[in-house]
Structure formats: C-alpha cells, structure tokens
Homo-oligomer: A and B are copies of this chain.
Amino acid sequence: MTTRDAAGGVPAPDRTDPEGAIAAAAARCSNWGRWGPDDVHGTLNFLTDDLRRDAARLVRRGAAFSLSQPFDMAGPQRGWRRRTNPVHTMLDTGTDAERGQGFPHGLGGADDVIAMPLQCSTQWDGLGHIFDHGRAWNGRRAGDVVTSQGDAVTGIETAAERIVGRGVLLDVGRRFGRDVASSGGELPDGFAVTQEHLEATIAAQGPTSAVGRGDLVLVRTGQYARARRDGWGDYAGGPAPGLSFTTADWLHGTEIAAIATDTWGFEVRPNEFDDAFQPLHQVVIPHIGLFVGEMWDLDALAADCAADGVHEFLLVAAPLRVTGAVGAPLNPIALK
C-alpha cells in the first residue's frame, strides 16, 4: 500500500497491486459529498467569479494563443476503441458553385459535415468518462449516469461556461527534457512526472507559476512537439511521458480546478504497475472530480512564457456544448 513518507512525498506504489494503490489513493483524495450529494461540477466548484475576474487582470498584451491541435484526418487516431480521426466532408463546394447550384442571383455556398469521436483531438474528459468499480463521480452508480443515451447527470453541458479562469503553465518538458533549443524541451516516453518535478518547475519558473485553488494547470511534456517533428507514431495510446500515479495527492491537495497536458492520456505510459490501464484516471475523475484535458498544443504558449517569464494567463477553455457528452472537443484560448 502506498503511504506518505516522513518528508510528505509519496513513494512509488507497489507495482503488483494497482487495485490496492488505487483504493488507497481514492480513500485519501476523495471529494465525494464535499459539495453535496447532487453535485455535478467536481473541482470546478473551486473556480469562482472572483478568481475569473482576477484572471482577466493577467491580460497585459492582448496576445491570444489557441491551444488546440488540428481536427482532421492527419491526426493520430488509429482505430483503437473505434476512435478514428475526424472525417470532414462537404455538402456543397466551390467547384459545385462554379458549375451552378440552383440558387438565385448568383449566390453560391459551401457547407460541411463532420463525424468524429469526441475525444479524437484536443478535449476535456468529463466527469462521466471514467468509473471506479462501477462508481462514477460523487459515488453514483455508473449505469445511473451514462447509458447509450449519454451522460444524463454530469454531461459536459454542465461545465459549459465554467472552465474559464487563471491558467498556469508548468513547462516540465523545458525544465527536465532534451532538445530545449530546437523544440522547447521534450521528456522521453515513460517519464513519470512526480510532485517533485512539478514543484521544481514551479520554483524555477518563478512566482507567476504558483499553483493554488481554482487554477487551470497546463503541464507541457514536449511529446506533442516530438510528434509534430517525427510523426505521430503511437501518440494515441502508446508510451508517453505524463503525470505519475503518485501525483494524485498533489492534484487533490492543491485544489486545482482542472489539468491538461499535451499528451494523449495525461498520465505516464506505460503505467507504473505491472498490469494496469490509466490508474490515475481512476482516482482523479471519479474520486477527486477533476477535469482532465488531453491532446492540447502548448508549444507556442510555452515559447512565449519562456520568453517573457510570465507563466500565468487568462484561460478560456469552454467545451463544445454537446448534451450528455462524457468528453468534448474544444479550442482553448490563452490570453496574456
């Protein structure tokens, strides 16, 4: 079983017992009932209007950064769990318009359609995305929350206007990675980002990186920069740098509102147990009620932060309002 050591750090858990480690972390970090039995917002409860107002004051230059990866067929999905890249097709085109489309007075039009998994590219995991032994956020039965009709309780629409606040970039890739000069720094696949790495990054980046209640924390590993240069490889589901299972307590204790990374799955892959699949998800989503963002493009923002030394900003990260979605695509905007 995982226990805190004297120094407050969290030792690596027993590799052979993910179920025990998850149960222990869940017991330590659970927020069930914290905001009442009917709560659907989880850690977004930490993010108040006052914090949003303060976050808007961080905008000094008016520089806007889209943190979205593209949504197109050139993406990383390979069909695992029926996740494909987006298929974008046209209902009308300019080539048609030149040939005439039957509209009056010379009007021509183009229109389009998309079919895609909601988690194919830059996205939020909603609170209905992951269950622990059949239990969803706040202790609800999974089958009472998510059926084929979607998430009837914690659908992403409940977060539509809430994920707006102070963003903080922790550029762990630049601090601990390779190729800083060429790509901004890249952690290798399998690199487990621990609480110590996070705290060292905060300390090195300086006071604009302090992390606290209600913050929207962006952790850059550099894996997306590598994929951009070398090709996707196994970006969608393969080995990756990412948060260590042992960060569950930090994610809980800091009272952050959400976290996002530039990797497919947020946590380190392979996972830190012999036989496991995304054990940190199993703690943070159903037990902490934490919103997790994946496949974000943090590179341009990170370069800007490295240049001016300011790692905080207004972050507007509103999910597409798909009723009942357990995850949702978005185009997050950081404003400095």
Contacts and interface: CB of A to CB of B under 8 A. Distances in A.
Interface string A85-114: 111111111111111000111111111111
Given A66-B318, A90-B90, A142-B94, A113 B117 contact: yes
B104 A277 contact: yes
Oligomer: number of copies: 4
A261 to B, nearest CB: 18
Contacts of A325: 88, 112, 114
Contacts of A69: 321
Contacts of A74: 323
Given A52-B62, A320-B331, A110 B151 contact: yes
A128 B110 contact: yes
A197 interface: no
B95 A91 contact: no
B333 A88 contact: no
A62 B48 contact: yes
A129 B109 contact: yes
A198 interface: no
Interface string A292-336: 000000000000000000000010101111111111011111010
Contacts of A57: 56, 59
26 contacts: A49-B62, A56-B56, A56-B57, A64-B162, A68-B160, A88-B118, A93-B142, A94-B134, A94-B141, A94-B142, A95-B95, A95-B146, A97-B146, A106-B132, A106-B282, A107-B132, A109-B131, A110-B130, A110-B131, A110-B146, A111-B129, A113-B118, A114-B117, A121-B321, A320-B331, A330-B331
